[in-house]
Structure 1
Amino acid sequence: MQEPLLEVDGLSVDFALPHGTVPAVKQVSFAIASGETLALVGESGSGKSVSSTAAIGLLPDLARTRGAIRFAGEDLLAATPRRLRRLRGNDISMIFQEPMTSLNPLHRIGRQIAEVLERHRGLKGDPARQRVLDLLDQVGIPEPARRIDSFPHELSGGQRQRVMIAMALACEPKLLIADEPTTALDVTVQAQILTLLQDLQRRYGMAILFITHDLGIVRHFADRVCVMRQGEVVETAETTALFAAPKHAYTRMLIDAEPHGRKPPVPADAPLLLEARDLRVRFPLKKRLFRPGSDFEAVRGIDLRVRRGQTVGIVGESGSGKSTLGRALLRLLDSRGDIRFDDTALAGLDSAGMRPLRSRMQVVFQDPFGSLSPRLTVGEIVGEGLRVHAPELGRRERDARVQEALNDVALDPAMRHRYPHEFSGGQRQRIAIARALVLKPEFLLLDEPTSALDRSVQATVIDLLRDLQHQYDLTYLFISHDLAVVRALADTVLVMKAGEVVEQGATETLFRAPREAYTRELMRAAFLEDTAA
């Protein structure tokens, strides 16, 4: 390797907390050269982000750092705060995972990018605006002259991430640190962002330190890989060599954690549990001056049949109508068309009419931390539904049901007195599943339940869902943009685009020989290399 641009040597980071010192990074060493892409990979809590933020002096005051960090030969740990501020934005830039929390919701995107140019390059007025327009064009924002005055909420997730990239590249840095920049994006948008980063890397000759837990991305994007576990580097190698012959058991575990296995199909004569005909969902749009109000049709005439014990996967990009369809089927949204659950017509039922069916139809959402009340213990969260749907149960009976549900999802019932923040992401998702299972439902709507999880945690949740389905004869509607997960779980797949089903069929048939160009595009973007070209 040529002379390193960034060199981290024996880095250790401890956090001084009230109850003692917690080691986060232990003797970590890696280097990255100009024009190179180095991937830092590992599960949540492995120390990836702490190592990268230490490199640019963004750790909180309670952090204690030892070792050496050199950028172009300069010792960053000895640099003054003023010197670090000059380096950040000019020579080193960073892209964070969630652009909506990184962008100021009160300021237009053009102003936020221009602020970087003013602070580091002294550009103001028309020259700054022209540079912002050039940057927006470089990162692929359509109609930059119109979008420059947009607020962050007026852009899609992929467009917001492009704005973050424009801010990071405003001063043409030598090193770009990208911390999980594609985790929350659809596979097609993810592929576009990765291609964009590669194009910009070639244009500017910059190095990229890419932090991720998705080894599928690493295989196609990085030159070298540095694998971290529990704050330590366990293996570093060229990307091709690492995937061909991983040396450390942990690396092999991460590679093997990709979703695998196939669900056996249900009998063709299994009884129907849920059926929809010509289902439509419309949302009214706001009236504007001199323009009459109109409706936006999010779901357009969809037919769907789900048999008992079956898993139906629904895939598509953000905005395709996946989640809207799922919520409409459970009557969580107003819709038109015929919906029948176990021969009961749902279309005309109000909330009171639906209440007796709610215990039989449950939902597990994407973000367990957002859907679990931080003020309730796990036992109270899981048992909450029993208070509504089984009021005849006494306290002891209710607690016994809660413990049974926690056992079902492989959590220690003794943990039921803890609060959600005391659990990992995978454990919180198990709690969300237990909350749905405690009512002994027949049907579960799973809306992106694994998208925020590490691949290894995903694999355990997938195995758990399979086991629970077999044990309780559950029926799943599984919504996801992760095609590898859908392939491992679903009997049948529906591909949605712009509110319509563009293709559907048995999972293996559809993945091996997709008929529609849109389906093939999704699979290429997801790096599913064994699908038809």
Structure 2
Amino acid sequence: MSALLDISHLTVSFDLPTGAVEAVKDVSFQVPAGETVALVGESGSGKSVTSTAIMRLLPDLARIEGEIRFDGQVLNRLSPKAIRRLRGNDIGMIFQEPMTSLNPMHRIGRQIGEVLRRHKGMNGDQARTRVLELLTQVGIPEPERRIQSYPHELSGGQRQRVMIAMALACDPKLLIADEPTTALDVTVQAQILQLLKSLQQRYGMAILFITHDLTLVRHFADRVCVMQHGHLVESGLTREVFDAPQHAYTRMLLAAEPKGRKVPVNEDSPLVLDARDIRVRFTTKRRMFGPDDTFEAVRGISLKVKRGQTVGIVGESGSGKSTLGRALLRLLPSEGTIAFDQQALEGLDQKALRPLRSRLQVVFQDPFGSLSPRMTVGEIISEGLRVHHPELSRRERDARVVEALKDVSLDPAMRARYPHEFSGGQRQRIAIARAVVLKPEFLLLDEPTSALDRSVQVTVVELLRDLQQKYDMTYLFISHDLAVVRAMSDTVLVMKNGEVVESGTTEAIFDHPSMPYTQALIEASFLNRAA
């Protein structure tokens, strides 16, 4: 089968003030028509730079050498007008971070419809019909209602599905999927991959699948290319690479998996968080007469967390996991009672809460959206120290920043760089460093490993365990990655539609789940990871 995409001796370098940096180094591979080729490797290996080079979306300071040939055309020689005609029409792309790729000012129906109007010439009614069809295909519930939603009104997983719908809108010949299932729970991962497979078979579409999840690659890709430090170190048929990996780096990636179990807390450990009958309601439509329409995202949840304990919260996208976590930290208005270290939080205003913020920290799901693009990494991590520990000198703050960056396996020399100069996984580690630099007593971890490759996940899980033991921290760990939850948690809450459907010790939930919903989550997780 002929190659739809042929990359030959691709080198991408960036002219930075500190000197030229080569992100991709003499890489060559092909994507045949109708096939799926996976590009895998750790954060910073050059995967995403390769994909953005194909789309001609690199910044002006980037220099491209080599040849990128698509369907007979050399993309790196096309005019800007010609490449714009290809983007979104012949070549679709699913970006890694949906919140930064969707316009916060426009409803999702308009954003998907714009692609159809621009490339397919559809009128308003035709575009709306197609948008509803696409939202249904990618598993968005109540598409007639969600078509009117803004991006911030959707969960992280739902926003990712909107991006997938947008990329597939024009039935492209080539789909570049950059971590397309990172923000999705395991049950939806299988649905999305099956959807992509069926569309690929129907339209003969080729897929360049960029991911750090090798288990997905095993089940989804025909061929695999392994990248390390900008080099292509191994490539071949997926089965051959997985069954007999030739390069030591490939073998390391295949062996990476969170292992071990958390050290249990003492029975007499004091209660650090006591929440009762927590409810969160959002107004969906305001009325001039009569009561407003509301949606109850969290429905009467109670939980107790001991000092040094980790409570894992799992469930599908939109189940209310993140909403519950933010309500517990008073980042969202809620009903019910919340006591932290025997101090009631529900009656405190923002000024009264400020002294507690250094003790209650959070790592958000979307690292790019939570990091200021105008601040260096050093400034981002030290910001909390300036606010909560003004007694520290500049040198002392910098020493704490260096320590935090080492804790999350980042080079302290990078602290003068800005967030956009890092990969998605590296930005997530920066977000973790920003939180742990304050040594908080309670840390809300909202999908802290979702953007990390497996080998780094292992490091971060071990890091979080060590920090927890060293500083006696308490974690609320929200994730759709059940392997990581199992390795991190003492107890687990399983959420669905804003309610807890099952709870218990980690062993009880994973080894003997009693509810069909929990069983389905666990089955999907382990099937996705099976050899």
Q: The TM-score by the shorter chain falls in which range?
A: 0.7 to 0.9
> How far, CA to CA, are the matches of 1:377 and 1:114 in structure 2?
37
Same amino acid, percent of matched pairs: 70
Partner of 1:312: 311
With over 3 angstroms needed to count, the CA separation of the structure-2 counterparts of 1:39 and 1:349, relative to structure 1, is: same
Aligned residue in 2 for 1:92: 91
Return closer, same or farther for 1:457/1:61 CA change in 2, 3 Å cut-off: same
Q: Which residue of 1 aligns with 2:416?
A: 418
Deviates more, 1:359-368 or 1:79-88: 79-88
Structure 1 regions of 5+ residues with no counterpart? none
Indicate the residue corresponding to 1:406 in structure 2: 404
The equivalent residue for 1:245 is 244
Task: Say which SS state the counterpart of residue 268 (structure 1) adopts.
Answer: coil
The one-letter amino acid paired with 2:506 is T
2:504 aligned residue: 505
Q: Which amino acid aligns with 2:54?
A: A
CA 527–224 in structure 1, closer or farther in 2 if over 3 Å, else same: farther
Are positions 1:14 and 2:13 aligned together?
A: yes
Alpha-carbon separation, structure 1, partners of 2:123 and 2:498: 44
Partner of 1:186: 185
Give CA-to-partner distance per residue, 1:292-350, whole Å, 9 cap, x none.
Answer: 22544332222212222221111123332223322333344444434333444444444
Q: Distance in 2 between matches of 1:57 and 1:390?
A: 45
The correspondence of residues 319-338 of structure 1 with structure 2, limited to 5 A, is 319-338=318-337
CA distance in 2, matches of 1:373, 1:220: 37
SS at match of 1:456: helix
How many angstroms apart in 1 are the aligned matches of 2:26 and 2:133?
42
- The whole-number CA distance in structure 2 between the counterparts of 1:462 and 1:187 is 19
Cα distance between partner residues in 2 of 1:375 and 1:112: 27
Pair 1:485-2:484 in alignment: yes
**Letter paired with 1:190:** Q
In the alignment, which residue of structure 2 is the partner of 1:43? 42
* 1:120 to 1:353, Cα distance in 2 relative to 1, 3 A: closer
Distance in 2 (CA, whole Å) between partners of 1:357 and 1:188 is 37
Match of 1:496 in 2: 495
1:276 Cα deviation from its structure 2 partner: 2.5
Aligned partner of 2:261: which letter?
Answer: R
Give the residue type in structure 1 aligned to 2:309: Q
In our comparison, the structure showing a higher alpha carbon Rg is 1
Indicate how the Cα distance of structure 1 residues 496 and 345 shifts in structure 2: closer, same or farther if over 3 A, else same: same
Structure 2 residue aligned with 1:33: 32
Tell me, in whole angstroms, the C-alpha distance in 2 between the residues paired with 1:145 and 1:362: 37
TM-score, normalising length: structure 1: 0.83
Residue 66 (structure 2) aligns with? 67
Number of the residue aligned with 1:274: 273
**Structure 2: where are the runs of 5+ without partners?**
none
Shift of 1:225: 0.9
Q: CA deviation at 1:404?
A: 8.8
Work out the CA distance in 2 between the residues paired with 1:78 and 1:455: 36
3-state SS of paired residue (2:31): strand
Q: Secondary structure at the match of 2:299?
A: strand
Moved more, 369-378 or 277-286: 369-378
Q: Is contact 1:405–1:437 with CA below 8 Å preserved after alignment? A: no
Greater mean alpha carbon deviation, residues 119-128 or residues 455-464: 119-128
After the TM superposition, which of the residue ranges 505-514 and 380-389 deviates more from structure 2? 380-389
* Greater CA drift, 94-103 or 255-264: 94-103
Aligned in 2, Cα 1:104/1:333: closer, same or farther, shift over 3 Å? closer
Q: Give, as a single letter, the amino acid of the residue that structure 2 aligns with 1:256.
A: A
Local SS of the residue matching 1:279: strand
Give me the whole-angstrom Cα distance separating, in 1, the residues matched to 2:273 and 2:512: 27
Residue by residue over 1:330-386, the C-alpha shift from the partner in whole angstroms, topping out at 9 and shown as x without a partner, is 344444434333444444444565555444433333345544556666666555555
Shift of 1:213: 1.9
Query: Match of 1:263?
Result: 262
How far the C-alpha of 1:57 sits from its partner, in A, is: 4.3
Distance (Å, rounded) in 2 between the aligned partners of 1:337 and 1:289: 28
> Structure 1 residues 145 and 88, CA, compared in 2 at 3 Å: closer, same or farther?
same
Instruction: Please state if 1:293 is matched with 2:292.
Output: yes
The residue aligned with 2:363 is 364
Contact conserved, 1:117 with 1:128, CA < 8 A, in 2?
yes
Give the equivalent residue in structure 2 for 1:526. 525
Q: CA deviation at 1:440?
A: 4.4
* Structure 2 residue identity aligned to 1:92: I
Check 1:194–1:249 CA distance in 2 against 1; reply closer, same or farther (3 A cut): same
State the match for 2:393 in structure 1: 395
Say which is worse superposed, 420-429 or 501-510, in terms of deviation: 420-429
Distance 1:268 1:416, change over 3 A: same
SS in 2 for 1:203: helix
8 Å Cα contact 1:114/1:124 also seen in 2: no
Paired with 1:296 and 1:77, the residues of 2 have a C-alpha distance of 49
1:118 Cα deviation after fit: 5.3
1:265 offset after TM fit, Å?
2.0
Letter in 1 for 2:231: E
| Preserved CA contact (<8 Å) 1:276 1:329 | yes
Amino acid at match of 2:225: C
**3-state SS of 1:526 partner:** helix
Q: Does 1:466 align with 2:474?
A: no
C-alpha distance in 2, partners of 1:148/1:203?
26
- Contact 1:406–1:413 (CA under 8 A) maintained in structure 2: no
CA contact (8 A) 1:12 1:26 kept: yes
Q: How much does 1:235 deviate?
A: 0.8
Deviation at 1:219, TM superposition (A): 2.1
**Cα separation, partners in 2 of 1:513 and 1:244, compared to 1, 3 Å:** farther
Structure 1 residues 389, 232: closer, same or farther in 2, change over 3 A? closer
Q: Which secondary structure state, in structure 1, belongs to the residue aligned with residue 508 of structure 2? A: helix
Change (3 A) 1:403 1:245: same
Distance 1:316 1:353, change over 3 A: same
Cα separation, 2, equivalents of 1:351 and 1:177: 44
What is the deviation of 1:236? 0.9
Match of 1:172 in 2: 171
Q: Distance in 2 between matches of 1:435 and 1:262?
A: 26
